[in-house]
Amino acid sequence: MSKLFIREAREEDVQLILDFIKELAVYEKMEADVIATPASILQHVCIEKNAHCLLAFEEEMPIGFALYFYNFSTFLGKKGLYLEDLFVRPEHRAKGYGKALLMQLVQIATQENCGRMEWSVLNWNTPAIDFYQSLGAIPMDEWKVYRLTESAMGKLVGKIS
């Protein structure tokens, strides 16, 4: 793993981030759901810093990314780190790179005094589930994730008069 280099994404990495997002979407069979653009990535990751991104390189070759943001736990009274996406290109898996990205996030969460780290994983993604559990992560089986899409929110706002 001495060839691995991880760094924060910069403005010139916007297209690379979007490429990784699209590759992840193909893996998750969700490519039709990707509507992000270079402009939206630039705005939210690089300018407003609503999200943060780590990029992983094997020597000079980009091989993966981790995109995360901060949330807040009312019970802990502390912020938390939420990992939105972690992806390593298939040909670079099983080299410890995913674990290295996750460990970099653990260091960031610790430095930022986060009370916890959380993420979601698709229930069919057994390799990822096994990987996370091997690190000591526990599933939150008693919780269900709910989502309002932009369209659904628009419909609800239209009902407010």
Q: Catalytic residue numbers?
A: 132
- Concatenating the DSSP letter of every residue in 20-86 gives HHHHHHHHTT-GGG----HHHHIIIIIIS-SSEEEEEEETTEEEEEEEEEEEEETTTTEEEEEEEEE
Q: Say how far apart CA 99 and CA 86 lie, in whole Å.
A: 10
Task: For the chain, count helices (H), then strands (E).
Answer: 5, 5
